[in-house]
Amino acid sequence: MNQTIVVLTEEALTDADALNLQALQGDDATEFLLLVPEDRNTSVVGEFLHHLSLLELAEAFRGLSKDEPAADAPAPATALQISLEVVTRHGLAARGETVAGNAVKALVATAKETDASQAVVITRPHAVADTFHRDWANQAQDQLGIAVLHLYSGSGFIGGS
């Protein structure tokens, strides 16, 4: 039986992320469908509170003054290409696309269209959104009847969804 696992990521996947995905595929033939949102702007207030919660005062106030995304973050199409290269290097069957608009709506629509058996959200930790269960994984879980796993990028840590 073939299964589809939809993966929503806010940045390029790493080798650690690919190993986590590899553990999910089991014995069935699995295709991973990677989604990278075109608009990955974060909440200024959410990021401010995140840095404050980690006692990163300088970074918190620096984040309030910048109007553009981080210079070191690759463009969505580049992040998708890197992610596809990483997962295929680990032997996973994958395809992907960048998505416009609301990332959670795109995840939910894609999971339903493909009759996905599972959805995975891979993000950096976001203290405020994670604490109040307003992260992408929790939002998707509220709308889907399938498991939504929230992993923190580059690690084996599972978010609180």
Q: Residue 53 falls within a domain, yes or no?
A: no
- pTM of the predicted model as reported, rounded to 2 decimal places: 0.75
User: What pLDDT score was predicted for residue 24?
Assistant: 87
DSSP 3: E
How many other C-beta atoms can be found within 10 angstroms of the C-beta atom of residue 152? 19
Q: Residue 50 falls within a domain, yes or no?
A: no
Q: Residue 22 falls within a domain, yes or no?
A: yes
Q: Which CATH number do you get for residue 9? A: 3.40.50.620
Per residue in 113-148, pLDDT (tens digit) is: 999 989 998 887 654 444 444 566 777 877 887 778
User: What pLDDT score was predicted for residue 16?
Assistant: 93
Q: Residue 11 falls within a domain, yes or no?
A: yes
Q: Residue 157 falls within a domain, yes or no?
A: no
* Average pLDDT estimate for 104-116: 92
User: Which residues constitute the domain of residue 135?
Assistant: 2-43+75-152
Of 29 and 69, which is predicted with more confidence? 29
Q: Residue 68 falls within a domain, yes or no?
A: no
Q: What is the DSSP string of 73-142?
A: SPPHHHHHHHHHHHHHHTT-EEEEEEE-S-HHHHHHHHHHHTT-SEEEEEE---HHHHHTT-SHHHHHHH
Taking alpha carbons only, the member of 136, 153, 146 closest to residue 83 is 153
Q: Residue 87 falls within a domain, yes or no?
A: yes
Per residue in 26-41, pLDDT (tens digit) is: 777 899 999 999 875 5
Evaluate if residue 84 carries a pLDDT over 90. Answer: yes
* Number of compact structural domains in the chain: 1
Q: Residue 31 falls within a domain, yes or no?
A: yes
User: What pLDDT score was predicted for residue 39?
Assistant: 76
